[in-house]
């Protein structure tokens, strides 16, 4: 069986790493015991065989993120092998990225003729390669199927809907996502609840992250020009961690200014605020004349975008996280870090407090953010592990592929 998996941007990299390891494990086990077994749904996490030969895997990188900090560094840190094919699409509008990816990916499919195309998440590459795979009559599997924010202003929501509608195999991270697909009329035989592959990466990389020194992370990634005086090293549960990049929070000058005032005047006034800043957010702060104000605040530690392990280490130690990132929501759930999600909706409701998680939706209303922040400051760290978030999702995905009938 020939499997072609696709990555396009940073969120995909953390999800494809365990999938590649699971294929390698499957093939190693196959070589040790080449006697196949009849197709069946195996026990969770097992790697029993229902194929008659080892799996052939081709990794395609569309190049949606093209600089070393956002791409190559993550491949190296997560031990992802160099992509077999790089489409080098680069940046552009949504239509440009989708259109150029489809043109390039069509040529790849016609040359290699895989049995499966496997896409992950909800970036533009996911949507583009899904459409192209089905036009070329190649079976399609979607890792993280069924996530829904129900916010059609989000490009990611459009990508999810298109990809799930086309997929032959819908690999869901939680039962809420499976229910979404059933409500939309997806065939029950196509839906496979396998768990959250992001947690495979967290568990695989947790020990490496724990060995990092927080002081070293700050020192090596600090943005120049900050007027912060010398301070004592950051202590466990004694600093806030911030990430923010979504247009709803940073594109409107009034919204951005209100959030920034709260961060500088209230959060950074009572504990260090560690802020790995996204290039989009930095540019908007500069455009709005707010950048110097942040640099001058003694309670803020501005950092360049961080690698996976560095950000995970900070999440492990933070007293509270403020973020509009879906991936950090998931990590906070398992780590137990109190989390304010700066969005009005989430495609990951299983991470919310009402479902046993660690996150509260606060949108970009400063009054709501302030109230939830005060609540989180006195909250106990309470790790939660939704069903099948056990670090063995990738193995279940491989088994679902080789056992597929249809």
CB burial class (10 A; 0-12, 13-18, 19+) of residue 87?
buried
The rounded distance, in Å, linking the Cα atoms of 170 and 180 is: 11
Q: Which two tokens stand for residue 323?
A: 């973020």
3-state secondary structure 277-327: CCHHHHHHHHHCCCHHHHHCCCCEEEECCCCHHHHHHHHHHCCEEEECCHH
Using the 8-state DSSP alphabet, how is residue 252 labeled?
S
Q: Which of 175, 225, 206, 100 is nearest to 349 (CA)?
A: 175
At 3, give phi and psi (nearest 5°).
-115, 130
* Cα→Cα distances 89→108, 132, 249, 318, Å: 14, 15, 27, 36
At 56, give phi and psi (nearest 5°).
-100, 130
DSSP string over 63-118? -SS-STTTTHHHHHHTTPPPPSEE----S--HHHHHHHHHHHHHHHHHHH--SEEE
Catalytic residue among 48, 112, 204, 245: 245
Q: With contact defined as beta carbons under 8 Å apart, do 273 and 301 qualify? A: yes
Distance of CA 4 to the CA centre of its chain: 20
End-to-end CA distance of the chain: 15
245 as an active site residue: the answer is yes
Angle at 396 between CA 74 and CA 48, to 5 degrees: 120
| Residues 6+ away with beta carbon under 8 Å from 391 | 199, 200, 202, 203, 204
| Residues 6+ away with beta carbon under 8 Å from 314 | 214, 217, 241, 274, 276, 306
The residues annotated with a catalytic role in the active site are 245
């Amino acid at each position: 069986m020939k499997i072609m998996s696709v990555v396009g941007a940073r969120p995909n990299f953390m999800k494809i790493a365990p999938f590649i390891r699971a294929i390698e494990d499957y093939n190693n086990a196959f070589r040790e015991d080449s006697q196949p077994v009849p197709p069946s749904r195996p026990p969770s996490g097992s790697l029993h065989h229902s194929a008659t030969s080892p799996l052939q895997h081709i990794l395609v990188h569309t190049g949606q993120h093209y600089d070393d900090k956002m791409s190559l560094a993550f491949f190296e840190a997560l031990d992802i092998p160099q992509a077999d094919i790089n489409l080098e699409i680069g940046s552009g509008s949504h239509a440009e990225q989708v259109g150029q990816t489809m043109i390039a990916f069509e040529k790849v499919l016609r040359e290699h003729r895989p049995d499966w195309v496997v896409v992950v998440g909800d970036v533009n590459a996911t949507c583009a390669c899904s459409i192209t795979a089905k036009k070329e009559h190649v079976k399609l599997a979607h890792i993280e199927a069924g996530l829904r924010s129900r916010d059609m202003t989000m490009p990611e929501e459009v990508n999810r809907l298109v990809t799930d509608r086309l997929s032959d195999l819908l690999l869901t991270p939680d039962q809420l996502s499976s229910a979404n697909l059933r409500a939309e009329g997806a065939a029950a035989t196509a839906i496979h609840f396998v768990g959250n592959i992001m947690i495979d990466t967290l568990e695989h990389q947790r020990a490496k992250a724990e060995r990092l020194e927080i002081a070293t992370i700050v020192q090596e990634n600090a943005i120049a020009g900050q007027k912060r005086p010398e301070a004592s090293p950051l202590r466990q549960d004694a600093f806030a961690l911030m990430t923010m990049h979504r247009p709803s929070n940073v594109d409107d000058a009034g919204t951005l200014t209100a959030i920034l005032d709260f961060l500088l005047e209230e959060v950074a006034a009572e504990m260090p605020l560690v802020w790995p800043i996204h290039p989009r957010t930095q540019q908007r702060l500069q455009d709005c004349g707010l950048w110097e104000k942040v640099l001058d605040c003694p309670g803020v530690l501005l950092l360049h975008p961080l690698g996976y392990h560095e950000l995970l280490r900070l999440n492990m130690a933070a007293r509270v996280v403020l973020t509009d990132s879906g991936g950090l929501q998931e990590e906070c759930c398992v780590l137990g870090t109190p989390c304010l999600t700066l969005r009005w909706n989430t495609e990951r409701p299983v991470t919310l407090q009402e479902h046993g998680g660690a996150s509260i939706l606060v949108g970009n209303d400063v009054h709501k953010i302030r109230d939830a922040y005060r609540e989180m400051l006195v909250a106990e760290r309470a790790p939660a592990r939704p069903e099948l978030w056990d670090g063995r999702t990738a193995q279940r995905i491989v088994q679902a592929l080789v056992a597929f009938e249809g």
